Amino acid sequence: MSADDTVETIIGRFGKYQTWILFLISIGRFPTEYQLTNVVFIIPSVEYVCMDENAYNLTNHCPCENPQYDQSSIVSSVTSTWNLICDRSQLASLAQSILQVGILFGSIFYGHVSDRYGRKFASILSLVSEVVFVALSTVSSQVWMFIVFRFFIGTAVGGTMLCCYVIVIELSGKSFRPYMTGLIELSYILSYFTLPIIAYFLRDWRQLQWATSLPWVFVILYYFLVPESPRWLITMGQKEKATEILTYIAKKNNMPTDNIKELVEKAVMETQSFHTKQYGSYIDLFKTPKIRIYTLITAFVWMCCAHTFFGINQYIGRLQGNIYLNVMLSSISLVPGIILVILASLYLRRKVAVITSFVTAGVSLLVFIVLPSGMRAAELTFAIIGQIGAYTSFVQVYLYSSEIFPTVVRNSAMGFASVFGRFGGFIAPFVVNIGIEWVSIVIFSVLAFCAAFLCYFLPETKDIVLLNTIDQTEKSNRDEITSR
């Protein structure tokens, strides 16, 4: 029996205690989710009338020293505060993209911290850092200060997205993982839905940042509420602490506690029989053939996935109509997407489900190109379909990646893949701002199809028990890199 089977046997597939931890993590992640979606409100594309003498009353004229901004929707934004228009418009793209650079560095940093020092420490550190950096961004007096804080916000976002996901997955039994793909996304959908409501009443970007950060200062108390991952403790050989935590959780879940110590000792011995190194590093991702191939493929898949998702997300903010209503409709549309993800995880092979999502995103974008101008309802519909495809692929890629890699390097592997994902997200605003709409959309579509193609070469992981060591992964007969 593997350590993973042991954990599920002791505490159950997903009991009351895991539900409580999921609730805490979901609530604590709200500031992170807000930062992923608030770009359309704090750094929007703005309309203005140029009040210069040589261009009086001309709309969106460049160059323009004295713009008068349209405040009918958003009273104050980063764009209008520092006049990020005309020759300064690239600073707006940089302010958008720098978040992805921060997520890149955060994924590397927190991925290593999580594998080296534990899931709990990394998760809580990232949650607290998110609140602090978002609040600090509101006092920026210069655009460069905002960009710096935006970078640090991104590092915390990267850590939260990665570490909080892994700790919840590792507390779940393998038979419950398909449901976790949907449940873990509740915080994103709820924050996505509530953000336009908050932004509607707080139309100043500084007030919006305050409101979506400081109320969550309570996450510092998670140090006393969230446990360490028993799977990580078993991998580290810390059997006493693992026994203590598993016993506590088993009692909360009304599970028997008689033979927990013996089961944990057996799991630790089994894990140690496969390796002598207690923790992994990024170097370990390239030492062995299977792990190396999995690492490179998942990295490029994440890049294509993030590029398409964040690109579509920004397009929806630019569509004609009420920006608050468009964003709210977009968030509501993700609910059936989550249901589809759960059903796909339960009844379809991982590769089939992920490839289908990518293809859906790619095809809907191509349809978007050929729609006649002025068909606003149709444009919004296919943009949302594309977003659903990109979103469901992103959700499934998280689960898929966590199943492919063993516990000892799971966070490091996902952190490395996230680096490429952030590169894809970083260039998305620049692709959106190319100025030729069909070129931008074709790029997003092609990369979605590329991701679908690359997934073909990854192993099937449906219903597998999470492996703990690199040796276990390398010796696994099931994990072949070609499609069966």
Residue with tokens 């490179």: 296
Distance between CA 343 and CA 31 in Å, rounded? 28
Q: What is the pLDDT of residues 288-343, one digit of tens each?
A: 888 999 999 999 999 988 888 877 776 665 666 678 887 888 788 788 888 888 88
Cα 337 to Cα 186, 264, 274, 401, 412: the distances in Å are: 12, 38, 39, 19, 28
pLDDT for 375 equals: 74
pLDDT for 59 equals: 85
Distance between CA 132 and CA 27 in Å, rounded? 16
| Upper half-sphere CA count for residue 458 (Cβ side, 13 Å) | 31
Distance between CA 88 and CA 107 in Å, rounded? 30
**Cβ-contact 43, 213 below 8 angstroms:** no
**Cβ-contact 470, 280 below 8 angstroms:** yes
Distance between CA 149 and CA 143 in Å, rounded? 10
- Closest by alpha carbon to 483, among 341, 333, 355? 355
**Torsion-angle region of 106 (φ positive above 0: left; ψ -120 to 50: alpha; else: beta):** alpha
Distance between CA 288 and CA 296 in Å, rounded? 12
| Residues near 294 by beta carbon (within 8 Å), at least 6 away in sequence | 404, 405, 413, 458, 459, 481
Residue 227: asked if its preceding bond is cis (omega within 30°), the reply is no
Print the SS3 string covering 364-384.
HHHHHHHCCCCCHHHHHHHHH
Q: What's the whole-model pTM score? A: 0.77
| Upper half-sphere CA count for residue 362 (Cβ side, 13 Å) | 19
Q: What is the pLDDT of residues 5-22, one digit of tens each?
A: 678 888 988 899 999 999
Q: For each of the chain's 484 residues, which pLDDT tens digit applies?
A: 344 467 888 898 889 999 999 999 999 999 999 998 898 899 988 889 988 887 777 888 888 888 999 998 899 999 999 999 988 888 988 898 899 889 888 988 998 898 889 999 999 999 999 999 999 999 999 999 999 999 999 999 989 988 998 899 889 887 787 788 778 888 988 999 999 999 999 999 999 999 999 999 999 999 999 999 998 998 888 889 999 999 999 999 999 888 888 888 888 887 766 554 555 667 888 888 889 999 999 999 999 888 888 777 766 656 666 788 878 887 887 888 888 888 888 888 888 999 999 999 999 888 877 877 767 777 778 878 888 888 888 888 888 888 888 877 887 888 788 788 878 877 887 787 776 778 888 888 899 999 999 998 888 888 777 777 788 788 775 444 333 3
**Cβ-contact 401, 417 below 8 angstroms:** yes
What single-letter DSSP state applies at residue 164? I
Q: Considering all CA atoms of the chain, what is the largest pairwise distance in Å, rounded to the nearest integer?
A: 85
pLDDT for 152 equals: 97
CATH classification number, 3-43+84-475, choose in 2.60.320.10, 1.10.3720.10, 1.20.1250.20, 3.30.350.10: 1.20.1250.20
Q: Is the CA virtual torsion 266, 271, 277, 281 positive or negative?
A: negative
Residue 280's CB is within 10 A of a number of other CB atoms, namely 26
pLDDT for 482 equals: 38
- Closest by alpha carbon to 389, among 448, 438, 346, 446? 448
- Closest by alpha carbon to 18, among 237, 220, 230, 335? 230
Tokens of 318: 């630019």
| Residues near 435 by beta carbon (within 8 Å), at least 6 away in sequence | none
pLDDT for 403 equals: 86
Phi, psi of 58 (to 5 degrees): -80, 140
Distance between CA 147 and CA 369 in Å, rounded? 33
pLDDT for 5 equals: 63
Domain ranges of the chain: 3-43+84-475, 48-81
